[in-house]
Structure 1
């Protein structure tokens, strides 16, 4: 029997790859779009407009067995909005729960929600990665909105019987990645000296192909029902190791200056960029033992291959 899948955020960095992989698995794929635009032939486009508590999902959910909900108001580095939490809640909480309720009304069996490691916090102690049973500690508006959406989805699942699966990825990288990862990759490709040669932290990452494989697994695996999972490449890296890995993938030399972390932190604090240095120098690890044991899942590609694909898919500007 053909599985009918609705993917929100279908034209985004992760959504495009999910639609492509789902089609390869023989799924019938609908892609929810905010505005009409061209999509690959294997995606049936459905225009839903802005996503919030009033969105009418109507025919987009007709005959759908499962939903992968990727669309969200994402983390904004320098948010200038006067009340950012309200905007995050409108999309990430009210929009998500509205979609879930209409999914229930339309007989959807499984709802896969892409949340974030930020639900648990911004950093971990060395050697103590987050697990799914750890306490929640979101610190910014994005993380708080994802946590609230998770809680609401669990309740909807309990009340309705619709299976809810929650995935909390760390930083996702791959061809077309943007923001900090793209900036770091471009710096490495250009041979810029980077003061990151003495950063001995540990951070979990997830290659786009690994995340997409895990999402598809969570759509189909019976044991994924009503579970929460962390996902990663299962090979944590220091920032120094990440830069060296990107350099190898790009076929260039890594120009790393061994600046002590305390000096980086002091300089960043003076420049008002302490948060950026925390992301580069702090620990943020996740444990994927649950995904391995319950679902029998393991990352299909290595971190080296993930970095190679990320670099190969990037057009230098």
Structure 2
């Protein structure tokens, strides 16, 4: 029996690359759908170039696929874009892709939405799917609108709302935190008490793969995260442990830390990494999914692998010496 064929968008991005590797490692055939040719090598079974905003391109791209995993879109980091651009790519193009998948006979559409479809960068209490969504920016609103429109289609549409994803190759705020952990200096974060749920990219890939094989209809939106939320100092301790270093954290009163962040114009980064955002993945767990990687171990592994990569890169360019 031939392995299921999965159409994957966003394979050149951080999450998409991991999804591609994970799906192929577990026996799925993968056809990557790319907007334009790319320089990097992708180990896919096939690849097609096309624009998701052009429906005429989709019939050939989705021919014979069993399911679609949609991880492409305008990322939250793409600041400064008008709201209509988020709606065009993150909402309208998503709906067209799912509709084309239904016409092509695909059985399931897996949409990588975001926790930002449900809340802002921080939230009081514990979030679950029963709370009324309250996105606070164009990115979150575009993801929520896509979820709502997918819910009306005949194809089984599963929307995952991941929290902050980390893993090898991560960029943005988590990459900035990793750079802090690698610095030799003591850091003034020991007094921060807010907790955040994080998501190892391995756990996200596992959830996507699990959803593709699940026998039941899964339509709906599901929060997805590692099991145990962490404070910012706990994240840094985990990373420095992976690097084989002591934590070297000292406390500064939180109100002073916040004032310093405001003066430096860094309030958004502080809110994203040091504000409360804890989610409950009970809905997904009741269906049988469990995260395999704990955040502490995952962050330590991320730091350790990044250090090994830097060492290998430095060794590769080391000058030759004569005897």
Q: 1:189 aligns with which of 182, 186, 189?
A: 182
The residue that corresponds to 2:28 in the other structure is 27
8 A Cα contact 2:203 2:293, kept in partner: yes
8 A Cα contact 2:73 2:89, kept in partner: yes
Question: For structure 1, which segment, 196-205 or 227-236, has the greater mean C-alpha deviation from structure 2 after superposition?
Answer: 227-236
Matched residues in 2 for 1:41 and 1:237: separation? 34
After TM superposition, which residue ranges in structure 1, 4 or more long, deviate above 3 angstroms?
A: 37-43
CA positional deviation for 1:224? 5.3
The C-alpha deviation readout for 1:199-235, integer Å capped at 9, x for no partner, is: 1111000101111001100111123521321111111
TM-score, normalised relative to structure 1? 0.91
CA positional deviation for 1:45? 1.2
Matches for 1:213-252 after TM superposition, within 5 Å: 213-223=206-216, 225-252=218-245
The C-alpha deviation readout for 1:36-78, integer Å capped at 9, x for no partner, is: 23534443111114x436572231100001000000100126x
Matched residues in 1 for 2:273 and 2:296: separation? 19
Matched residues in 2 for 1:201 and 1:139: separation? 20
Matched residues in 1 for 2:299 and 2:89: separation? 31
SS of the residue aligned with 2:65?
Answer: coil
SS of the residue aligned with 1:297?
Answer: coil
8 A Cα contact 2:116 2:135, kept in partner: yes
SS of the residue aligned with 2:196?
Answer: coil
Matched residues in 1 for 2:84 and 2:29: separation? 35
CA positional deviation for 1:251? 1.1
Question: For structure 1, which segment, 138-147 or 56-65, has the greater mean C-alpha deviation from structure 2 after superposition?
Answer: 56-65
Question: For structure 1, which segment, 133-142 or 260-269, has the greater mean C-alpha deviation from structure 2 after superposition?
Answer: 260-269
Matched length? 306
The residue that corresponds to 1:144 in the other structure is 141
Matched residues in 1 for 2:244 and 2:304: separation? 11
Matched residues in 1 for 2:72 and 2:299: separation? 25
The residue that corresponds to 2:48 in the other structure is 46
Q: 2:169 aligns with which of 170, 176, 188?
A: 176
CA positional deviation for 1:144? 0.7
Matched residues in 2 for 1:305 and 1:55: separation? 45
Matched, 1:297 2:295: no
The C-alpha deviation readout for 1:58-117, integer Å capped at 9, x for no partner, is: 31100001000000100126x234xx2111111101111111111111111100001000
8 A Cα contact 1:6 1:29, kept in partner: yes
Q: Structure 1 residues 30 and 8 mapped into 2: Cα distance closer, same or farther (>3 Å)?
A: same
C-alpha RMSD over aligned residues: 1.8
SS of the residue aligned with 1:103?
Answer: helix
Matched residues in 2 for 1:151 and 1:224: separation? 17
SS of the residue aligned with 2:230?
Answer: coil
Question: For structure 1, which segment, 33-42 or 169-178, has the greater mean C-alpha deviation from structure 2 after superposition?
Answer: 33-42
TM-score, normalised relative to structure 2? 0.89
Larger Rg over CA atoms: 2
Matched residues in 2 for 1:281 and 1:261: separation? 10
Matched, 1:129 2:126: yes
Matched, 1:67 2:65: no
Q: 1:87 aligns with which of 79, 85, 88?
A: 85
Q: Structure 1 residues 90 and 196 mapped into 2: Cα distance closer, same or farther (>3 Å)?
A: same
Matched residues in 1 for 2:134 and 2:210: separation? 27
8 A Cα contact 2:186 2:248, kept in partner: yes
Matched residues in 2 for 1:53 and 1:87: separation? 15
The residue that corresponds to 1:100 in the other structure is 98
